[in-house]
A and B are shown apart, each in its own frame.
Chain A
């Protein structure tokens, strides 16, 4: 399908994409997740041979994109909804693309119908709202009836109705057995659509794993403790061989893999006052933010946000590294 190997892109001194290697699996929706500025768009541009990599390669069906004859019949992409000539009608924008890849004219009408733009087909596309431009971009991606579809942050800036439409469209396309590669900076969006996850931060691969594994690893529960005798409590837990993480922002302790009952009893045995003893469930968004905490360019300084916490050893499961290793071993 599509394989990236050691893909690297530098803009002056900025390394936007840093030795990225992964494979897009056929027939599933792969979510390409990373905070803003992580290098998602740059990676996608290199996949379409729009930007030249500083080093590394992208292969589509084993070939360079440039060597595909009639590429729209293999890969359809929506990178930027506004990447059309605004002075040209929606129909003509699609027609010239179709002709370049010898796609029959009637397919233009079909895709316009599919995205619901038939009524405005003869209108100049510069008057289109973002939602309509997005639909036009999707129509252009679907023109060649391609097996692989790529969407760069397709729901950005859309109203709820537009978001829902895109989500359903992607589900429908996936159900037809197409390969979908879609980027987002929101974990919650990915959780709804993706079967597989590729996570990057500062251009580097952080994780490459099935969505189910990510959820399983991250929907783990932990117990939050708060006590006026925190230091003593910590010592006790250490003595008992229990791993503790302090969260300075909230003044709490977080404990994995030990039940609230056990912890409560332990505290009672040593007569430690507890102000809080509560079982918690980490959200996927939190897990993602922790994962990329070291790599976001500008931290959001909201108190208590996971991104502000130092990455905790217990929380950095062997995602990227171990998973890639197992996969390689299995190949």
Chain B
């Protein structure tokens, strides 16, 4: 079976359901909207000396991703789990019985789309915020800034893929969303918040992967990390790989 045929089929699937457009539109609107709101109301006089020294205008553009990523989680989950909730999975697998083709095709198409939306979101957010920050703003040509902004787009794509893997393991929208949203929104932040759990917390996918978005090392009083931006990203890649393999194992083993 031609893999390109599967890609084409999955592209048709993804572009013909409403959930794709509203989740991805939310990723963009929430991220860009909150970044704009935050920088438009930003008052540099409220910063103390230390904060001023580590002020990271790039991170200011990208911090709203914390919220925007929730919609990306939903996107990643729904791409996979609606196959199960609608019963389409049986029709899909009867047409493409090779599980690796089916899953890889779906993940490739959805991840590519998430990457496109992710990059669009991070660049739009960056340029809009920097314009609003005025004198405090920074150019894309400054050291490490391009890496951080591109990295934010990569982060969103990887996050979507991670969620697809988890959804393939759990096979239910409700189960996957109710595990992933609290995990990314609360658990990840909570664990790095406490000294005792920080080392563990720093290795969670969003904390490790998010390091790529920082330009100034200790911006916003963030703690020291045992890895650099790409090292952190690599950790998130490993998490994602594990989720994808887990999802594939479940798809292979369990009855459709």
Using a CB–CB cutoff of 8 Å, the interface residues on chain A facing chain B are 45, 48-52, 65-66, 68-72, 75, 77, 79-80, 82-89, 92-93, 95-97, 99-102, 140
A252 to B200, CA, bound (A): 80
* Residue contact B12 to A48, C-beta cutoff 8 Å: no
* Chain B residues, CB < 8 A from A84: 86-88, 91
**Interface contact A82-B87, CB-CB below 8 Å:** yes
> Is B97 within 8 A of A85, CB to CB?
no
Which stretch from B1-9, B121-129, B135-143, B241-249 is at the chain A interface?
B1-9
Cα separation A7 to B69 with both chains bound (whole Å): 46
Tally inter-chain residue pairs, CB-CB below 8 A.
95
A79 & B12 in contact (Cβ 8 Å cutoff): no
Given contacts A51-B255, A84-B87, A102-B5, is CB(A72)–CB(B82) below 8 Å? no
Interface size class of B (residues with CB under 8 A): 20 to 34
Q: How far is the CA of A92 from the CA of B18 in the complex (A)?
A: 13
Task: Say yes or no: is B146 at the interface (Cβ < 8 Å to chain A).
Answer: no
Residues of A within 8 A of B5 (CB): 99-102
One digit per residue, 1 when the CB lies within 8 angstroms of any chain A CB and 0 when it does not, for chain B 83-96 equals 10011111111111
Q: Which residue of A lies closest to B4 (CB)?
A: A102
Q: Closest Cβ of chain A: how far from B22's Cβ, in Å?
A: 11
The answer to whether B87 touches A80, judged by C-beta atoms less than 8 angstroms apart, is yes
Q: List 15 A-B contacts (CB under 8 A).
A: A45-B255, A48-B97, A49-B97, A52-B253, A66-B98, A71-B97, A75-B94, A83-B86, A83-B90, A84-B86, A84-B88, A85-B86, A87-B86, A89-B16, A102-B5
- Say which residue of A66, A87, A100, A140 sits within 8 Å of B17 (CB atoms): A87
Contact A50 B86, CB 8 Å, known A71-B97, A88-B16: no
Report Cα–Cα, A201/B41, bound state, in Å.
Answer: 73
Q: Does B95 lie within 8 Å of A72, measured CB to CB?
A: yes
Distance of A68 Cα from B94 Cα, bound (Å): 11
The answer, among A68, A79, A96, A140, for a CB contact under 8 Å with B97, is A68
A-contacting residues of B (Cβ < 8 Å)?
A: 1-2, 5-6, 8-10, 12-13, 16-19, 82-83, 86-98, 253, 255-256
CB distance A96 to B13 under 8 Å? yes
Take A84-B86, A97-B91 as given contacts and tell me if A51 and B16 are in contact as well, using a CB distance cutoff of 8 Å.
no
The majority secondary structure among interface residues of chain B is: helix
CA distance A93 to B13 in the complex (A): 8
Return A97 CB to nearest CB of chain B, in Å.
5
Interchain CA distance A89-B13 in the complex, whole Å:
11
Is there an interface contact between B256 and A99, defined as CB atoms closer than 8 Å?
Answer: no
Instruction: Tell me if B95 and A71 are in contact (CB < 8 A).
Output: yes
Q: A50-B256, A85-B82, A101-B95 are in contact. Are A96 and B16 (CB under 8 A)?
A: yes
Given contacts A52-B253, A71-B95, A87-B19, contact A102 B2 (CB under 8 A): yes
Residue of B nearest to A124 (CB): B18
What's the least CB distance linking A14 to chain B, in Å? Answer: 13
In the complex, are the beta carbons of B253 and A71 less than 8 A apart?
Answer: no
**Which one of B2, B9, B256 contacts A97 once the chains associate, using CB atoms below 8 Å?**
B9
CA distance A72 to B97 in the complex (A): 10
A49 to B91, Cβ gap below 8 A? no
- Chain B nearest CB, measured from A88 CB (Å): 5
Given contacts A93-B88, A100-B92, 7 further A-B contacts (CB under 8 A): A49-B93, A87-B86, A97-B92, A97-B95, A100-B95, A102-B5, A140-B91
Please, which residue of chain B has its CB at the minimum distance from the CB of A150?
Answer: B94
Residues of the A chain whose Cβ atoms lie less than 8 Å from the Cβ of B94: 48-50, 71-72, 75, 77, 79
Query: Does the CB pair A65–B97 fall under 8 Å?
Result: yes
Contact of B12 among A69, A87, A96, A102 (CB under 8 A): A96
* Chain A residues in 8 Å Cβ range of B9: 96-97, 99-100
Are A70 and B17 closer than 8 Å at their CB atoms? no
Whole-angstrom CA separation of A14 from B92 in the bound complex: 27
A83-B88, A84-B86, A87-B19 known; A99+B93 contact, CB < 8 A: no
Q: How far is the CA of A96 from the CA of B6 in the complex (A)?
A: 9
State in angstroms the CA–CA spacing of A87 and B87 once bound together: 12
